């Protein structure tokens, strides 16, 4: 009798590679004595070295395992750098399996009394927090951190999730002296790798090394006396080895008007495309957008929810009763969902509970609320489709990489003839047809049984604030009069949100802020009429609005939305400017001057515009008897400006700042 015991051992024979660029604990006195970083004197801290290595090995018990090791060493230069003494390690988990943290070492080094002292992180300074349904975060707080300290951490992660290959950031918000990442990948695993960011790598190498897997099997023979014999078989394979390194990486400095730093910070990303083991067919992980569309369209936690839930039919008939047009029905359904179900603040692609349970709980995720909205619109016999997207803080969607994990949110699109209407019912203060500003991020992925398509996530209307002001100027240089604000689009939404979050007098107090204004009366209109501009009316006395020098008065008439400085500081910008939506700030003002004053000098009218009217500023001050009429209209008519357009945009802002600094000069008769 022959009995084969299916025990297989894999022993990869790893060829010794290049020495690691950093050794844990090898901290120099020179680095400890450093008081500033010569390449960036403003730096509050500097990454002295950051080294990581990922490799795929075989475990007898668990099969192929993804391992990751990292050493990171940071010099603290100023108190503002103390925030770097808090370190986080994300750990993925799913269906009862989880990534395991091992070998954690964390030490604070100081140079005291002529020698190096070490303070190790204790167990009570290490704790785990839940981040979301698939991610926990291990948090470490370094002790005894001072100006001049060096903090260093080493850890390993062992993972069964081969798709979750560690990405690597070469850049941080503080300078980095050395950042290096290495990867060892058997030929059976194929990952798509893509770089992002704007720094150049000093090392970008790919080599191959021969490795051997030794398979050991055990056999038992004989009926009465059993003999055990062992046999081995060797399988040669190729291990792909990668090495990337960057030296003297400048700090990533976030300029205004970007989505999220993760879109622009220099890093390398990995996505598991497919695996192919010897003698087995290819197993694809990345698939195609067609596959992803089919998966979502047929999912009981996504596409099937839109077509199903027949119990909603009666409710839809009741709330759309008397409504004749599709637009009226959509608005009624949208308002119903917004009032019945509150958003719990979580961004999801799939539902985690039934739509019936969502209604009962009166609370749900973005997926539960917006798939409920889509299902109800479907019951009104209106074409509707769920749309997957990535929110602005989640990052860009790269169409060339068909991976559904790029998405973190779902809205829906109703189609009325040739007119598409984007809808999101998570925010009760948004009108129908206007999606939250967090969703204005490139393109969305429309899921349909007929096939997917990409949808431009454009705002339905521009953000606009119009200010009408009527003032009388006193001889002391004070202004008394009335202000009216009409806030539309996302301006109206933000103001309604602020108004709803506090008492009315607190809102007014925050509006005044540190300005030398006295509000004697105020009134709000259209607060709940979200389809109308929010109106704010103030009666106000403004002191210190002018400079009096003897018989001359200098006054800057742009009392609101004046730019005192250009928000774009850098001469060169490496990434696009993203305003999220076009916007307009219109300031109309009438100032009546006293009889004993006359105009000595007025700013000259000016129109400043970018090519194609992408941005435009109009400014004029005219006189009609004792009345001065001021018009200031600032428009940005596009959401995104490329890096090549940045110099012109920056100069446009420079000229606006200069123009708005000009003053009216009045003098006594």
Token pair, residue 262, equals 């993760």
Shared domain for 226 and 363, answered yes or no, is no
Instruction: Tell whether the model's pLDDT for residue 535 goes beyond 80.
Output: yes
Higher local confidence (pLDDT), 328 or 287: 328
What pLDDT, on the 0 to 100 scale, is given for residue 462?
A: 85
Query: In Å, what is the CA distance from 442 to each residue of 295, 349, 388, 432, 649?
Result: 23, 17, 12, 20, 21
Per-residue pLDDT, 220: 61
Q: Are residues 86 and 184 in the same domain?
A: yes
Q: What is the mean pLDDT of the chain?
A: 91
In a domain, 25, yes or no: no
Query: Is 32 part of any domain?
Result: no
Could you say which of 268, 284, 300 is where a domain stops? 284
Mean of pLDDT values over 107-132: 92
Q: How many domains does the chain have?
A: 3
User: Is there a single domain that holds both residue 264 and residue 320?
Assistant: no
**Mean pLDDT calculated for residue range 395-406:** 88
Domain identity same for 260 and 345: no
Q: Is 647 inside any structural domain?
A: yes
Asked, for residue 22, whether it belongs to a domain, the answer is no
- Same domain for 367 and 442, yes or no, is yes
Q: Are 391 and 441 a contacting pair, CB within 8 Å?
A: yes
Instruction: Single out the residue in 245, 267, 284 at which a domain terminates.
Output: 284
Q: What is the pTM of this model?
A: 0.82
Burial readout 329-347 (b: 16 or more C-beta within 10 A, e: otherwise): bbbbbbbbbbeebebeebb
Answer whether 72's CB lies under 8 Å from 50's CB.
yes
Q: Looking at the domain assignment, is residue 443 inside a domain?
A: yes
Residues 272 and 318 in one domain: no
Residues of the domain holding 82: 2-14+39-284
One domain, residues 439 and 510: no
Percent of the residues in the chain that have a pLDDT greater than 70, as a whole number: 94
Q: What DSSP character marks residue 474?
A: -
Residue 33 domain-assigned (yes or no): no
CATH number of the domain that 617 lies in? 2.60.120.1130
The last residue of one of the domains, among 456, 482, 505, is 456
pLDDT at 228 > cutoff 80: no
Residue 420's CATH number = 3.10.620.30
What does the pLDDT average to over 557-583? 91
Least reliable range by pLDDT among 276-290, 330-344, 555-569, 590-604: 276-290
User: Taking residues 621-628, what's their average pLDDT?
Assistant: 95
Write the pLDDT tens digit of every residue in 464-522. 999 999 999 988 889 999 999 999 999 999 999 999 999 999 999 999 988 889 999 99
**Residues 330, 346: one domain?**
yes
Residue 28 lies in a domain: no
Predicted confidence (pLDDT) at residue 17 exceeds the cutoff of 70: no
Residue-wise pLDDT tens digits, 151-175: 999 999 999 999 999 999 999 999 9
| pLDDT exceeds 70 at position 225 | no
46-70: per-residue pLDDT in tens? 999 999 999 998 776 677 899 999 9
C-alpha distances (whole Å) from 533 to each of 214, 429, 487, 527, 528 are 73, 12, 5, 9, 10
What CATH number did the domain enclosing 123 receive? 2.60.40.3140
**Does residue 88 have a pLDDT over 60?**
yes
- Tens digits of per-residue pLDDT, 231-254? 677 778 899 999 999 999 999 988
Tell me what pLDDT residue 12 has.
Answer: 36
**Residues 398 and 484 both lie in one domain:** no
Q: Is 27 contained in some domain?
A: no
413 and 562 in a single domain? The answer is: no
- Same-domain check for residues 117 and 257: yes
Starting at the edge strand found earlier in the chain, the sheet holding 463-473 runs 517-525, 534-542, 479-488, 463-473, 583-592, 627-636, 615-624, 606-609
Per residue in 172-196, pLDDT (tens digit) is 999 999 999 999 999 999 998 888 8
In this predicted structure, what is the pLDDT of residue 236?
A: 81
């Amino acid at each position: 009798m022959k009995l084969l015991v299916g025990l297989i051992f894999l022993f990869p024979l790893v060829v010794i590679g290049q020495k690691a660029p950093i050794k844990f604990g090898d901290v120099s006195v020179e680095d400890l004595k450093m008081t500033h970083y010569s390449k960036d004197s403003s730096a509050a801290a500097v990454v002295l070295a950051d080294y990581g290595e990922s490799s795929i090995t075989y475990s007898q018990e668990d099969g192929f395992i993804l391992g990751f090791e990292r050493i990171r060493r940071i010099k603290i230069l100023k108190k503002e750098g103390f925030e770097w003494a808090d370190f986080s390690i994300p750990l993925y988990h799913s269906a009862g399996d989880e990534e395991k943290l091992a070998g954690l070492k964390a030490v604070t080094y100081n140079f005291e009394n002529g020698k190096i002292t070490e303070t190790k992180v204790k167990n009570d300074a290490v704790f785990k927090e839940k981040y979301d349904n698939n991610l926990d975060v291990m948090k470490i707080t370094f002790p005894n951190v001072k100006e001049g300290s060096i903090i260093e951490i080493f850890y390993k992660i062992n993972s069964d999730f081969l798709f979750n290959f560690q990405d690597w950031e070469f850049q941080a918000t503080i300078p980095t002296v050395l950042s290096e990442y290495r990867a060892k990948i058997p030929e059976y695993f194929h990952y798509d790798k893509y770089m992002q960011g704007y720094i150049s790598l000093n090392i970008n190498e790919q080599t191959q090394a021969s490795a051997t897997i030794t398979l050991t099997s055990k056999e038992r023979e004989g009926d009465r006396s059993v003999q055990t014999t062992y046999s081995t078989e060797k399988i040669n394979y190729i291990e792909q080895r990668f090495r990337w390194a960057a030296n003297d990486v400048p700090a990533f400095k976030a300029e205004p008007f970007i989505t999220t730093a993760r879109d622009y910070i220099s890093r390398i990303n990995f996505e598991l495309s497919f695996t192919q083991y010897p003698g087995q067919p290819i197993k694809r992980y990345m698939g195609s957008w067609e596959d992803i569309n089919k998966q979502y369209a047929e999912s009981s936690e996504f596409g099937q929810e839109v077509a199903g839930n027949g119990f909603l039919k009666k409710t839809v008939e009741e709330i759309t009763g008397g409504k004749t047009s599709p637009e009226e029905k959509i608005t009624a359904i949208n308002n119903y969902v917004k009032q019945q179900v509150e958003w719990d603040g979580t961004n999801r692609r799939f539902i985690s509970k039934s739509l019936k349970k969502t209604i009962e709980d009166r609370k749900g995720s973005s997926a539960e609320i917006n798939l409920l909205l889509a299902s109800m619109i479907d019951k009104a016999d209106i074409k509707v489709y769920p749309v997957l997207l990535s929110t602005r803080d989640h990052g860009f969607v790269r169409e060339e990489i068909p991976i559904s994990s790029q998405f973190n949110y779902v809205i829906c699109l109703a189609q009325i003839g040739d007119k598409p209407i984007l809808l999101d019912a998570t925010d009760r203060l948004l009108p129908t047809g206007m999606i939250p500003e967090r969703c204005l991020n490139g393109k969305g992925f429309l899921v349909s049984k007929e096939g997917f398509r990409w949808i431009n996530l454009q705002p339905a209307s521009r953000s606009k604030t119009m200010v009408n002001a009527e003032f009388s100027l006193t001889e002391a240089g004070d202004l008394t009069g009335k202000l009216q604000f009409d806030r539309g689009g996302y301006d109206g939404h933000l103001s309604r949100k602020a108004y709803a979050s506090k008492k009315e007098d607190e809102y007014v107090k925050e509006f005044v802020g540190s300005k030398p204004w006295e509000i004697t009366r105020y009134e709000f209109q259209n607060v709940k009429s979200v389809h109308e501009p929010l109106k704010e009316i103030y009666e106000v006395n403004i002191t210190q609005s002018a400079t009096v020098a003897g018989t001359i008065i200098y006054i800057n008439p742009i009392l609101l939305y004046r730019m005192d400085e250009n928000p774009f500081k850098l001469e060169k910008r490496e990434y696009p400017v993203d305003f999220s939506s076009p916007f307009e700030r219109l300031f109309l003002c009438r100032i009546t001057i006293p009889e004993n004053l006359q105009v000595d000098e007025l700013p000259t009218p000016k129109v400043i515009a970018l090519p194609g009217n992408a941005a435009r500023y109009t400014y004029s001050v005219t006189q009609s008897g004792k009345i001065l009429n001021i018009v200031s209209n600032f428009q940005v008519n596009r959401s995104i400006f490329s890096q090549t357009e940045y110099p012109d945009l920056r100069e446009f802002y420079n000229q606006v700042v200069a123009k708005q600094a000009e003053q009216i000069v009045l003098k006594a008769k």
